[in-house]
Structure 1
Amino acid sequence: MIEVHLVEHTPARIVSLPHIAGQALATLKAVDAAPDPYEPELWRLKAGSKVRAVTLDVPGRETMRLRITPKLPIQRLFFLLGYTLDLGGWRDGDVDVAGYDELLPAIAHAVERQTDRALRQGLLQGYRSTDATAFVVRGRVREADQIRRRFGAPLPAEIAYDEFTTDIAENRILRAAVERLLRLPGVPGAVRTRLVHQRARLAEVTPLVRGQPLPGWQPSRLNARYHHALRLAGLVLDNASAEHLPGGVRMNGFLFDMNTVFEDFVCVALREALSAYGGHAALQATNVYLDEAEIIRIRPDLVWYDDSGAALVVADAKYKLGKPHGYPDADLYQMLAYSTSLGLKDGHSVYAKGNAPHAGHLVRHSGIALHQHALDLDVPSSVLIREIHVLAARMVRPRLG
């Protein structure tokens, strides 16, 4: 087993890898991977914003396991994810990670524990609409199907009925997440044993068909004990995958993009904070154009509008300061475009602390001020949310002052 451990946004490492494994990593864009021009089995690997656990099975060679861990503690990563999914019900400590400091073991443990808690009182039951062909009529006859399939014969009957069963969306999602985790290498043995137990409890539930959309569910009082487990299960099903790559390489992996995690958290938290001032916030606003002809569409992360529909605040969340090669200060140019198109005199970019300082820039001949704010993700969650509310007040003040 070849083990490679990287930390997001840290200097590159030179690692000895089979050339086909290096090529697979480059194809996946799991890391920035480049071969040494003179030593084909030496690769320069650099982790970006994606944290992941990847196992590569290379035909005829050793299995390779790549782990990219976040700079943030795993418990804080779970808080950012959880706040985005559930403003009121997920706080620090709600999800037990048992001291694991790696992504896959932590989420596998958390899913198993939350699934166990959800199922402790037995499997949830609910009504499921079912279509069937039967010689005993129950529910209602599907008349159009009866005529089309049976040419008017009374039996067998094409019927539809509501069945009270455990074979409902909530249980099917939990089973799918447990099975997905069991297919991933790197899940600790003790956690894997407990996941097998949870799978047995869900054995009578119909498996989901891979590639099909997840069945929908709605939070309610009746399924309240399932809420945390279902949201964690959704994270697993959205971010775990298996792929076949060129050369017969098979990849099993689990991925979070810290850019997306941070941007989603900031936008949802700011929307919540700005709600105190009336109006409404649009995330990933789609009706914003740079030109008068409305051909060049731009998409700010957040625009806050008053009740008349006039834009009052524009904000963009960036986990890391953008410095693309040959195009410095790209984030500022982007925010200038947003502010200009919306007719605003202030634009706000929000970064994770350590990736950008607090700064302000007054753009020449325009009167537009571009503000760069930094959030400290290492502070307690209550302090972090309070900082978001202070930031929202600073954004609003020039408009309402």
Structure 2
Amino acid sequence: MNTTPAQPIIIELTEYENKSFQHDQISDSDGFELYDKYKIQVDIEFPNYKTKEHWKLKAKGWVGYIPVTPELHLKINPKMPIQNLFGMLEYAYNLKGFRFLEGLMDCESLEEFYNNLAHILADKVLERCRKGLYRTYLPTTQQLSYVRGRLDMQQIIQKPWNVKLKCDYEEHTADVKENQILAWTLYIIGRSSLCSERVSPTIRKAYHALQGLVTLQPCSAEDCIARQYNRLNLDYELLHNLCRFFLENSSPSHERGNYKTLPFLVDMAHLYELFVAEWFKKNTPQGYFLKQQHPIEISQNRHFNIDILLCDAATGKTIAVLDTKYKAPEQAEYTDIHQMISYANTTKCKEAFLIYPKHLTQPLDIKSDQIRVRSLTFSLDDNLDRAGQTFLKNLFLLIFQNSHQ
């Protein structure tokens, strides 16, 4: 008797594009599941008289793969060239320049890129296991039948009949956060529905290599950021950058029965913000430096992080505030303009820029008291480095012109 599970129906969308589907292409129960769990990522209009009894779906700035139910999977393609999406990911997660990534640019889909990157991570974890995992000393307290480290004399005096001795000592262990991040990431990848038959065995092998040595503990993308490295664990920086990519773009899905799988979803607005900041940081002209995600307090109960501050290296003074907007409206929104004026006032600078992936139909250029707010473009449609250089040239041209008016 053949017990092979039926293959799910895969429907495809492209971000920000409306697409219609026949009523029988999506079951009502699957439609409800999609709406309940993923309405932030996908606009869904149920079949009705107005839609001529069709389903209408629109992805809202997310790309990736959603296993909605065992019967229905949703694939969301980027609107930009796939190679540019990979280029953004390389910059955003500090993977740019690693030679092993060169072959990834030939991938034709996000699933293929996911598989290849997962395979690279698993290979490098196995390589590190063969060399020996990073270990460090952790303080431990245990009841032992022999003396180890420092005895708790107060307990001995209070409970002289206790044959177990309370000892405080340091244990040299691999069960540390550095390795727990690797184990949790491999666990998350293993639960995804994106791993191919070629990649899955390597993921399992790497995960099992950590078992027994490392406790499976939930880790977040934030755990991978700003960690301290030394000569004994320097190679972990790359591993953690790869882990951050997977953890930041994987999230728990609804569990139904034994169906436990994770969607892989890239928030394009967040990716655009990370990409522009990292590209700018790596290409900042001499004499300037950047501050990323700079915290400011607008009022007692209102706190914000500014995407980018451009500062003068000699004086430390803020020259411009910049904020990325992954959308292509005809004109800038008033709320965004007022936000930038608040940012500029708080940082005591006169230049504020809203950065978009496409040219606005009505470019922004307004002045409020001494503050000037303008729009700029960091395009994703062409070569990213060339687009970045154009953005950089226009930014400094506008700053220079304004300072001489």
Shorter-chain TM range is 0.7 to 0.9
Structure 1 residues 206 and 126: CA distance shift in structure 2, 3 A:
closer
The aligned counterpart of 1:318 is: 325
CA distance in 1, matches of 2:283, 2:297: 23
Letter in 2 for 1:161: E
Greater shift, 182-191 or 33-42, is seen at: 33-42
Decide whether the 8 Å contact of 1:133 with 1:158 is kept in 2.
yes
CA distance in 2, matches of 1:67, 1:153: 62
Letter in 2 for 1:54: I
The aligned counterpart of 1:351 is: 356
Structure 1 residues 189 and 333: CA distance shift in structure 2, 3 A:
same
SS at match of 1:319: coil
The aligned counterpart of 1:203 is: 211
Q: Does 1:265 align with 2:264?
A: no
Letter in 1 for 2:89: L
SS at match of 2:251: strand
The aligned counterpart of 1:303 is: 309
Q: Does 1:137 align with 2:147?
A: yes
SS at match of 1:66: strand
Decide whether the 8 Å contact of 1:346 with 1:369 is kept in 2.
yes
Identical columns (%): 21
Instruction: Indicate which of 170, 178, 181 corresponds to 1:161.
Output: 170
Letter in 2 for 1:361: D
Structure 1 residues 135 and 173: CA distance shift in structure 2, 3 A:
same
Letter in 2 for 1:270: F
Decide whether the 8 Å contact of 2:14 with 2:59 is kept in 1.
yes
Correspondences of 1:165-204 after superposition (within 5 Å): 165-204=173-212
Letter in 2 for 1:223: N
Decide whether the 8 Å contact of 2:20 with 2:54 is kept in 1.
no
After superposition, give the CA deviation of every residue in 1:32-82 in whole Å (9 maximum; x if it has no partner). 11112248984210012111211122xxxx611011122344453343233
- Measured after TM superposition, the shift of residue 313 of structure 1 is 0.8
What is the count of residue pairs matched by the alignment?
A: 385
Structure 1 residues 143 and 244: CA distance shift in structure 2, 3 A:
farther
Letter in 2 for 1:56: V
The aligned counterpart of 1:48 is: 60
Instruction: Indicate which of 94, 116, 124 corresponds to 2:123.
Output: 116
The aligned counterpart of 1:34 is: 45
The aligned counterpart of 1:371 is: 374
5+ residue gaps, structure 2: 1-7
Decide whether the 8 Å contact of 1:339 with 1:345 is kept in 2.
yes
CA distance in 2, matches of 1:42, 1:343: 53
Decide whether the 8 Å contact of 1:322 with 1:329 is kept in 2.
no
Q: Does 1:235 align with 2:245?
A: yes
Decide whether the 8 Å contact of 1:54 with 1:66 is kept in 2.
yes
- Measured after TM superposition, the shift of residue 367 of structure 1 is 5.8
Correspondences of 1:1-150 after superposition (within 5 Å): 1-15=8-22, 16-27=25-36, 28-29=38-39, 30-38=41-49, 42-57=54-69, 63-86=71-94, 90-91=96-97, 94-95=100-101, 96-97=103-104, 99-120=106-127, 122=130, 123-131=132-140, 132-141=142-151, 146=155
Decide whether the 8 Å contact of 2:344 with 2:351 is kept in 1.
yes
Q: Does 1:225 align with 2:235?
A: yes
- Measured after TM superposition, the shift of residue 267 of structure 1 is 2.5
Structure 1 residues 158 and 253: CA distance shift in structure 2, 3 A:
same
- Measured after TM superposition, the shift of residue 112 of structure 1 is 1.9
The aligned counterpart of 2:3 is: none
- Measured after TM superposition, the shift of residue 368 of structure 1 is 4.5
CA distance in 1, matches of 2:153, 2:53: 67
SS at match of 1:222: coil
- Measured after TM superposition, the shift of residue 198 of structure 1 is 2.0
Letter in 1 for 2:210: L
SS at match of 1:197: helix
- Measured after TM superposition, the shift of residue 388 of structure 1 is 5.5
SS at match of 1:124: coil
Structure 1 residues 395 and 170: CA distance shift in structure 2, 3 A:
farther
Structure 1 residues 214 and 311: CA distance shift in structure 2, 3 A:
closer
CA distance in 1, matches of 2:330, 2:35: 21
- Measured after TM superposition, the shift of residue 178 of structure 1 is 1.6
- Measured after TM superposition, the shift of residue 4 of structure 1 is 0.9
- Measured after TM superposition, the shift of residue 333 of structure 1 is 4.6
CA distance in 2, matches of 1:148, 1:94: 61
After superposition, give the CA deviation of every residue in 1:96-148 in whole Å (9 maximum; x if it has no partner). 5384433344223212223313432513232141513322333334667x569
Structure 1 residues 151 and 20: CA distance shift in structure 2, 3 A:
farther
The aligned counterpart of 1:256 is: 266
Letter in 2 for 1:174: L
TM-score when scaled to structure 1? 0.79
Structure 1 residues 172 and 92: CA distance shift in structure 2, 3 A:
closer
- Measured after TM superposition, the shift of residue 268 of structure 1 is 3.5
SS at match of 2:122: helix
Superposition CA RMSD, Å: 3.9
Structure 1 residues 342 and 158: CA distance shift in structure 2, 3 A:
closer
CA distance in 1, matches of 2:152, 2:360: 62
Letter in 2 for 1:32: D
Instruction: Indicate which of 347, 365, 381 corresponds to 1:361.
Output: 365
